[in-house]
Amino acid sequence: MSAALEDDARAESIRMIRDSAAAVAPPGGDLSRIRGLRFKAPGHDPATFRQLGEMGWIGLRVPEAQGGAGLGLGEACALAEELGAALVPEPLIPAMLSASLLAAVGAGPLEALLAGTALPLVAWQERADTLEVPGTPDAPRKFLVNAAAATSFLLPVREADRIALYEQAGGALTLEPTQDGGTFGTLTPDLAGASRIAGDIGEALALALDEAALLTGAYLLGGMERALAMTLDYLKTRSQFGKIIGTFQALQHKAADVKMQIALTRASIEAAAATLDEGATGDLRRATVSRAKARAAESAMVVTRQCIQLHGGIGYTDDYDVGLYLRKAMVMANQYGSATLHRRRFMATSPEGEE
């Protein structure tokens, strides 16, 4: 197949993924379902999560031989972007992280996860704002998204110079509410009641975490674009002093700045997905992901705050939807590494950061 035909086929694949997202992400921007799930356990709809499995989204990155779709990060980022635009709360990115890890080791509840009937969560994080996995056997595992719905937990545990993987069913779990209406969980490991399912997952977990960071950036990109679209619609209809406020030059300049932030984020996300799909490894992979995630995390906060300001007083009320995008950005911007962490990692791993 020629390069042109391959590019056309890839573009068509991404278009189909975006179209399929309408099943759970209404293109009209109706957020009534999202509002109905806020601040209620488990924070998402289990039936919709099963639907994600039935549509093949959880296994999007899993090889076909293991029951997945075997697609690339270009398709996965396009899907995450569409879900971000609709603020879909179902834990697709954590589920895809678990699926990638279980597929790499060839063990654990992969089949049930791909079907959306199980949610094993990778409990890897021991402190805030890190991508490092110490694997301390008895250390509490923190910042577990949608932990209340987990059917089991996948625990990376250091054994000598390797990271092994254990599966723990249940355990001591505490939940804390988050700004977007969901929860973060903290799990106390109980290795005595856990099963050892793999002996060395270090590199597989590092790759899965990088992909999760990139997908989180894509989700934030979708939220930014939807928040701007809502804002532009508002600027075209709201009148003040007898004029449509969208004609005010100062507001036009702010909207243009926001649009530039989104364009730069899109370029970073799409370039990173293409680079990883081409097989980037090591420092190149880490630098590429960090550049995109840093841009997305920082831009998401800038864009959503500016969109609220452009709405004026109504933007600060919880009843108005644009504020939901700021709340989501506040929660997700630091997941899988903040902008600060990723800037540091980019400087440490990219040739562009060398003196």
Q: Is the residue at 29 inside a domain?
A: no
Alpha-carbon distance 123 to 144, whole Å? 7
Q: Is the residue at 18 inside a domain?
A: no
Q: Is the residue at 185 inside a domain?
A: no
Q: Is the residue at 239 inside a domain?
A: yes
Q: Is the residue at 336 inside a domain?
A: yes
Neighbours of 48 (CB within 10 A): 16
Task: Give the CATH number for residue 321.
Answer: 1.20.140.10
* Total-model pTM: 0.94
- The helix/strand count (H/E) of the chain reads as 11, 9
Which of 150, 153, 137, 156 has its CA nearest to residue 198?
Answer: 156
Q: Is the residue at 148 inside a domain?
A: no
Q: Which two tokens stand for residue 54?
A: 């039935």
Q: Is the residue at 221 inside a domain?
A: yes
Q: Is the residue at 242 inside a domain?
A: yes
Domain with 232, as residue range(s), is 203-353
CA torsion sign, 68 to 69 to 70 to 72?
negative
The sheet carrying 195-198 orders its strands as: 120-122, 152-159, 162-168, 195-198
Q: Half-sphere exposure (CA, 13 Å, Cβ side) for 222?
A: 25
Local confidence pLDDT in tens for the 355 residues of the chain? 455 556 677 788 888 888 888 888 877 778 999 999 999 989 999 999 999 999 999 999 999 999 999 999 999 999 999 999 999 999 999 999 999 999 999 988 999 999 999 999 999 999 999 999 999 999 999 999 999 999 999 999 999 999 999 999 988 999 999 999 999 999 999 999 999 999 999 999 999 999 999 999 999 999 999 999 998 887 777 655 556 655 555 667 687 888 999 999 999 999 999 999 999 999 999 999 999 999 999 999 999 999 998 877 777 788 889 999 999 999 999 999 999 999 999 999 987 654 3
Q: Which two tokens stand for residue 337?
A: 């590494």
Total structural domains within the chain: 1
